[in-house]
């Protein structure tokens, strides 16, 4: 069965969602309110389901409307940017690109890239949904974001993974501690210390680290548990004990009382990269954003640019 929508149909649907009322959406699109309502009703008729729940004061999406929204935004952005790129008018492209990312990647990888993106597309918004590794992966699989920046999790047939950086796990300890005074640090040096564990039991970071340490037959005394990386760093500052974290989670300038120590025997690291739907296609601005990430982040990212792996 073929279902055809006009570009203005999708614009009308998104305008109602963004503004919350038919009246404001009609004004924005320079349509009469009955004309706007007919377009929405035609879409609902073609799909065989309601897209919007209407009340006297506000309009909200139904479950079907929520599923349609990210697809509609991608289609509108892709068509508009493709048409404008014919005459090289990148600076006139508007809309919004949405990606999903783990918080550490947002802080460490994106600020400079976002500035470059804004220079190329000054009218294009960039929405970053910072989530846990599993939540960020689910956003990609469901098509709610153009792509994700995530650690490599278990294999999933629906997505591909392109490496960007290797992020080693380190030990954060207070500057006055015995661990901080050691020139080199091994996992065995943590014996006898009450260590702060970060993450929920099935979270991506925690599961990955536990698996790597178990494989190396390293048993640590995980005495305290918290969910948030920043919380763990503050507890370390308070003298409760060391914490094991990805290096990207630590910013020495923000925590002057901490010592950040590399730890070996063995070195454990996670790989952070770009996660995409295997059968998806990026809008031109999203493709530009992805290309900037690949170009920016080092020899490893460039060497593996043409190589993708299932996640």
- Asked whether residue 237 is assigned to any structural domain, the reply reads yes
* Domain ranges, residue 4: 1-65
> Could you say which of 65, 84, 118 is where a domain stops?
65
- Asked whether residue 58 is assigned to any structural domain, the reply reads yes
The per-residue pLDDT string of the chain (311 residues; one tens digit each, 9 = 90 and over) reads 566 788 888 888 988 888 888 988 888 888 899 999 999 999 999 899 999 998 767 788 899 998 888 888 777 776 766 665 555 555 555 678 899 999 999 999 999 999 989 888 888 889 999 998 889 999 998 888 999 999 987 677 889 999 999 999 999 999 989 999 998 899 999 988 999 998 877 677 788 888 888 888 888 999 999 988 889 999 998 999 999 999 998 865 577 889 999 998 888 889 999 999 987 778 888 888 998 999 888 544 444 444 444 44
> Could you say which of 27, 48, 65 is where a domain stops?
65
> How many distinct structural domains can be found in the chain?
2
The SS3 assignment for 210 reads helix
Tokens 């689910």 belong to which residue? 138
Helix (H) or strand (E) holding 164: strand 159-174
Alpha helices in 165-223 (DSSP H): 178-181, 204-215
> Could you say which of 50, 65, 80 is where a domain stops?
65
Q: Read off the pTM.
A: 0.67
- Asked whether residue 129 is assigned to any structural domain, the reply reads no
Nearest to 56 by CA among 23, 25, 13, 32: 23
Nearest to 139 by CA among 101, 95, 96: 101
CATH of the domain at 174: 3.40.190.10
- Asked whether residue 243 is assigned to any structural domain, the reply reads yes
Report d(CA 71, CA 52) in Å as an integer: 16
- Asked whether residue 94 is assigned to any structural domain, the reply reads no
Between the CA of residue 108 and those of 112, 113, 177, what are the distances in Å?
A: 9, 10, 27
Q: Are 250 and 258 in contact (CB under 8 A)?
A: yes
CATH of the domain at 36: 1.10.10.10
């Amino acid at each position: 069965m073929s279902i055809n929508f006009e570009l203005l149909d999708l614009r009308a649907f998104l305008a109602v969602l963004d503004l919350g009322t038919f009246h404001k959406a009609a004004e924005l699109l320079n349509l009469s309110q009955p004309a706007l309502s007919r377009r929405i009703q035609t879409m609902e008729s073609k799909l065989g389901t309601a897209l919007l729940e209407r009340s006297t004061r506000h309009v909200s999406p139904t479950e079907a409307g929520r599923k349609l929204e990210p697809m509609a935004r991608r289609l509108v952005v892709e068509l508009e940017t493709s048409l404008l790129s014919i005459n090289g008018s990148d600076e006139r492209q508007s809309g919004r690109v949405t990606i999903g990312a783990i918080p550490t990647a947002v802080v460490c990888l994106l600020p400079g890239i976002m500035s470059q993106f804004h220079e190329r597309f000054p009218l294009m918004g960039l929405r970053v949904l910072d989530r846990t590794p599993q939540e960020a992966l689910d956003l990609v699989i469901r098509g709610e974001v153009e792509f994700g920046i995530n650690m490599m999790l278990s294999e999933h047939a629906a997505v591909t993974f392109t490496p960007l950086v290797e992020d080693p796990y380190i030990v954060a300890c207070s500057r006055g501690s015995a661990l901080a005074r050691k020139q080199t640090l091994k996992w065995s040096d943590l014996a006898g210390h009450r260590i702060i564990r970060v993450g929920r039991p099935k979270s991506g970071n925690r599961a990955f680290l536990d698996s790597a340490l178990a494989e190396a037959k390293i048993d640590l005394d995980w005495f305290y548990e918290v969910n948030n990386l920043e919380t763990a760093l503050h507890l370390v500052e308070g003298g409760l004990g060391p914490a094991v974290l990805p290096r990207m989670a630590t910013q020495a300038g923000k925590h002057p009382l901490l010592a950040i120590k590399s730890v070996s025997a063995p070195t454990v690291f996670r790989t952070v990269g770009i996660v995409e739907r295997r059968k998806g296609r990026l809008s031109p601005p999203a493709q530009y954003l992805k290309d900037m990430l690949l170009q920016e982040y080092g020899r490893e990212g460039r060497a593996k640019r043409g190589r993708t792996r299932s996640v």
